[in-house]
Amino acid sequence: MSYATKEQLQELIEHIGDNLYLPQMVQYFDKSNVYSTDEKMIGQWIDGKPLYQKTFNCGNLLNAGQLNFTHNISNINNIWVESGFAITVDGSTIITIPQINPGYLERGVHCSADKTNIYIITGTDRSDFIGYVTVRYTKTTDPALDYTIGTENDYSTEERLIGTWVDGKPIYQKSFELVFPVVATDGTYVANNLLIDDLNIENVVSQDGYWSENNASWLPLNFVSDNGQFHTSVYVWYNSSSNHYALKYGTDRVRYGNQPLVVTIQYTKTS
């Protein structure tokens, strides 16, 4: 797709209203992330729809329980947890949300979202922590745009150049729409490999995304349940013996088979 013209951006402003983050019209969008407790339109999703972001103070986490925080976002098409953290009241300790503790999986913090709530599940006492969660989402009331807005938060199934890594090399980004494989019996892990040798990856900078259960809830790619058990996994895998890069994605639950996921990777190239 071609980049948006000023006229197209003006039409977008009129449609979105004050929630559009556009500090410099002539430069289109500011090339930075915007964190706000107000809804902000920050980019574009892979289906062409405008992409929104909003940050919530979810209050104190629970002592080994599930916190249901109502986000009051209307007309959601899809929604996922982009990032989060929790900090103790005295500010002495900060943990990420979600969090996986490899040595003590039951002490992790699980976080997901649906069209009504943000869910934060703690496996141990985290009641002295205040949680902050940032979600991204698209809306049913927005049309899919037939042009590219032109921000670093524009997601696409086509490869895009989005920035520069610490070694000075360009950073590329690409999103993949996938489906978890079918699982015949709970507890039996089944995975697929998608070869991505054509990307000429040298280093993987980041991996992000979500998977959806029946288009009703959206969960982290590497999903850990409240009892500390892994049930889905997604990662970039390099086989040194065959010199192949692949996206490896799988699950060990029957109910998660055939469920869709979107994976976005950022990477540098060998050439």
Give the right CATH number for 160-269 from 1.10.10, 3.40.225, 3.40.109, 2.60.40.
2.60.40
What is the predicted pLDDT for the residue at 1? 59
Ranges of each domain in the chain = 6-139, 160-269
Residues of the chain below pLDDT 50: 21-32
The reported pLDDT for the residue numbered 105 is 56
Q: What is the pLDDT of residue 145?
A: 84
Residue 258 and residue 166: Cα distance in Å, rounded?
38
pLDDT at position 72? 97
Give the pLDDT of residue 28.
43
Which residue shows structure tokens 């141990």? Answer: 124
Instruction: Give residue-wise pLDDT tens across range 171-189.
Output: 999 999 999 999 999 989 9
Tell whether pTM > 0.85: no
- Give the residue carrying structure tokens 């205040």: 130
pLDDT at 32: 45
| Cβ pair 22, 16 in contact under 8 A | no
